[in-house]
C-alpha cells in the first residue's frame, strides 16, 4: 500500500477527513475497492431500489447522491498522507501542506542520518499535477522551509529524506527559517528532556489584513517559475504566518494533563531578541483561523498550558550563532577557511566560550603545514 493511500486512512479517520457522502461509501462497501468501484456498486443498488416507498430519507439522499456524482466525488485531496515519521494534509490548490504532524522522542534524535544525503524533491506519492517544483522556489527570494524538520529524524535516513519532499515544504523567509523558526524547532527537540512524548503540528496560514478602515482582505504572494500565466499555472502560496501546535506529556503517569502550546509566527524576519511567549496564541483562535481542530481527541479538561509547566524559553540568538561557528570550525578543511570563520565571529562581536577557543586552537594545529 502506498504511503498516501486515502483508502487506508479513510477507514478510521473518515469522520473528520471525508465528506458524509464519502463516509457512506466507506460504510456500505468494501473499502478495499476503489471509489469508482464503490460508486458503480451503489448505482446498481440504486436502480433496483430507488422507487421503493419504504426507503428512509437518509438512504434516499445517499442513493440520489451517488446518481448525482455518477462521474465520481470531486476530490481536493485533503486526505491524511502517511510517511515514516510524519503525517500531513496537503492543499492541492495552494500547493503547500495544511498541517504536518510528527512525534518526537529522545530516541528519534539519536542516529547518523544526515541532510547531506537528502535532496528537496517532488513527493513521489503525490500526483505531480498538483505538486510544487523546486524551480518555483529557486531564485524566488523565498526559502524552502520544512514543516516537519529534518533534524527530528536523525534515527532514520529514510524518514529524514521524506521530510525533503515538497509536500512538507512552504515558501519561508530565510532569515525567519535560519533564526527564530530554527530556535523554535530546537526548543521542541529540547522538550524531550522533560517529556517522553512531544507531538508537534506545524503549518502555515494566509491571514487577512485590515485595509480601508475596517474592511479585511486576504492578500498573499504566489510563487511560480511560470511568472505570467494566471489560470492553470503552478503557483505556490507564500503563507503570511507559520504555526506550531505543541503537545508534551509523560504518558506513564495516567490521568496527568497534557501540556499544550500554540504559536503563530509572521513569515518575515524576527528580531533576535524576540521570545516565544510573544507569539503564543489561544489554540481556539488558531483553530478558527486555520479551520482545523488540531486536537479533537484531547478534551480541554485534560489540557494544561505548556508555558505554565515549562519556561517556553528559546535558546538565545547568540547561543545559536555560536553553535553555527562551532559547526563551521569543525567543517573547515583549510587554514584560510578556519581563520575566515574566526574573523567573522570577531566581526559580529560574538563571545566564544572555552570549548570554541579550544576547538579553534586544535583545528589550527591540525591544519597547519607539518615541517
Query: Does 120 help bind DNA (rule: CB under 7 A)?
Result: yes
* The one among 340, 353, 355, 361 contacting DNA by CB under 7 A: 340
Query: Does 297 help bind DNA (rule: CB under 7 A)?
Result: no
Query: Does 67 help bind DNA (rule: CB under 7 A)?
Result: no
Interacting span for DNA (CB under 7 A) from 50-58, 66-74, 205-213, 318-326: 318-326
Query: Does 95 help bind DNA (rule: CB under 7 A)?
Result: no
Query: Does 159 help bind DNA (rule: CB under 7 A)?
Result: no
Interacting span for DNA (CB under 7 A) from 49-57, 66-74, 78-86, 137-145: 137-145
Of the two residues 89 and 341, which places its CB atom closer to DNA in the complex? 341
Query: Does 196 help bind DNA (rule: CB under 7 A)?
Result: no
177 is known to lie in a ligand binding site: yes
Interacting span for DNA (CB under 7 A) from 28-36, 144-152, 214-222, 308-316: 144-152
Instruction: Give the nearest distance from C-beta 328 to DNA in angstroms.
Output: 6
* The one among 136, 152, 161, 162 contacting DNA by CB under 7 A: 152
Of the two residues 66 and 153, which places its CB atom closer to DNA in the complex? 153
Q: How far apart are the first and last CA of the chain?
A: 62
Query: Does 342 help bind DNA (rule: CB under 7 A)?
Result: no
Please answer whether residues 263 and 276 qualify as being in contact, where contact means their C-beta atoms are separated by less than 8 angstroms.
yes
Instruction: Give the nearest distance from C-beta 325 to DNA in angstroms.
Output: 9
- Rounded CA gap, 153 and 110, in Å? 8
Query: Does 234 help bind DNA (rule: CB under 7 A)?
Result: no
Interacting span for DNA (CB under 7 A) from 28-36, 64-72, 135-143, 255-263: 135-143
Nearest to 187 by CA among 312, 321, 325, 324: 312
Instruction: Give the nearest distance from C-beta 118 to DNA in angstroms.
Output: 9
Of the two residues 26 and 180, which places its CB atom closer to DNA in the complex? 180
Query: Does 4 help bind DNA (rule: CB under 7 A)?
Result: no
* The one among 4, 6, 97, 149 contacting DNA by CB under 7 A: 149
- Rounded CA gap, 327 and 294, in Å? 36
Instruction: Give the nearest distance from C-beta 100 to DNA in angstroms.
Output: 12
* The one among 31, 82, 344, 350 contacting DNA by CB under 7 A: 344
Question: For every residue of the chain, which 3-state class applies, written as one string?
Answer: CCCCCHHHHHHHHHHHHCCHHHHHHHHHCCCCCCHHHHHHHHHHHHHHHCCCCCCCHHHHHHHHHHHHCCCCCCCCCCCEEECCCCEEEEECCCCEEEEEEEEECHHHHCCCCCHHHCCCECCCCCCHHHCCCHHHHCCCCCEEEECCCHHHHCCCHHHHHHHCEHHHEEEECHHHHHHHHHHHHHHHHHHHHCCCEEEEEEEEECCCEEECCCEEECCCCEECCCCCCCCCCCCEECCCEEEEEEEEECCCCCCCCEEEEEEEEECCCCCCCCCHHHHECCHHHHHHHHCCCCCCCCCHHHEEEHHHHCCCCCCCHHHHHHHHHHHHHHHCCCHHHHHHHHHHHHHCCCCCCHHHHHHHHHHHHHHCCCC
Catalytic residues: 146
* List of residues contacting DNA (CB under 7 A): 114-115, 119-121, 134-135, 137-139, 143-146, 149-152, 154, 172, 174-175, 177-179, 182, 185-186, 320-321, 324, 327-328, 333, 337, 340-341, 344
Question: Annotated binding residues for Mg(2+), as ranges?
Answer: 177
Amino acid at each position: 500500500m502506498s504511503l498516501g493511500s486515502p483508502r487506508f486512512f479513510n477507514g478510521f479517520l473518515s469522520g473528520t477527513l471525508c465528506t458524509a457522502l464519502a463516509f457512506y461509501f466507506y460504510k456500505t462497501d468494501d473499502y478495499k475497492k476503489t471509489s469508482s468501484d464503490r460508486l458503480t456498486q451503489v448505482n446498481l443498488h440504486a436502480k433496483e431500489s430507488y422507487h421503493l416507498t419504504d426507503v428512509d430519507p437518509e438512504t434516499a439522499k445517499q442513493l440520489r447522491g451517488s446518481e448525482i456524482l455518477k462521474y465520481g466525488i470531486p476530490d481536493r485531496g485533503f486526505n491524511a498522507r502517511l510517511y515514516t515519521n510524519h503525517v500531513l494534509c496537503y492543499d492541492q490548490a495552494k500547493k503547500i501542506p495544511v498541517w504536518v504532524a510528527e512525534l518526537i522522542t529522545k530516541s528519534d534524535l539519536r542516529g547518523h542520518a544526515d541532510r547531506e544525503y537528502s535532496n528537496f524533491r517532488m513527493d513521489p506519492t503525490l500526483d505531480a499535477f498538483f505538486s510544487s517544483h523546486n524551480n518555483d522556489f529557486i531564485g524566488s527570494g523565498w526559502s524552502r522551509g520544512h514543516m516537519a524538520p529534518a533534524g527530528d529524524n536523525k534515527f532514520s535516513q529514510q524518514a529524514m529524506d521524506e521530510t525533503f519532499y515538497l509536500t512538507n515544504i512552504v515558501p519561508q523567509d530565510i532569515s525567519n527559517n535560519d533564526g527564530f523558526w530554527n530556535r523554535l524547532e530546537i526548543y521542541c527537540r529540547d522538550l524531550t528532556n522533560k517529556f517522553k512524548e512531544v507531538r508537534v503540528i506545524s503549518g502555515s496560514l494566509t491571514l487577512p489584513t485590515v485595509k480601508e478602515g475596517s474592511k479585511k482582505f486576504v492578500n498573499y504572494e504566489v510563487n511560480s517559475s511560470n511568472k505570467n500565466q494566471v489560470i492553470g499555472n503552478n503557483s505556490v502560496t507564500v503563507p503570511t504566518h507559520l504555526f506550531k501546535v505543541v503537545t508534551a506529556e509523560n504518558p506513564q503517569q495516567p490521568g496527568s494533563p497534557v501540556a499544550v502550546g500554540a504559536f503563530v509566527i509572521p513569515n518575515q524576519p524576527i528580531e533576535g531578541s524576540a521570545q516565544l511567549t510573544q507569539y503564543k496564541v489561544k489554540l481556539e483562535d488558531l483553530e478558527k483561523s486555520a479551520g482545523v481542530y488540531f486536537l479533537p481527541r484531547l478534551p480541554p479538561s485534560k489540557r494544561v498550558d505548556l508555558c505554565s509547566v515549562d519556561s517556553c524559553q528559546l535558546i538565545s540568538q547568540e547561543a545559536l550563532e555560536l553553535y553555527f561557528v562551532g559547526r563551521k570550525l569543525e567543517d573547515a578543511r583549510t587554514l584560510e577557511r578556519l581563520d575566515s570563520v574566526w574573523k567573522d565571529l570577531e566581526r559580529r562581536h560574538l563571545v566564544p566560550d572555552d570549548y570554541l577557543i579550544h576547538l579553534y586552537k586544535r583545528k589550527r594545529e591540525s591544519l597547519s603545514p607539518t615541517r
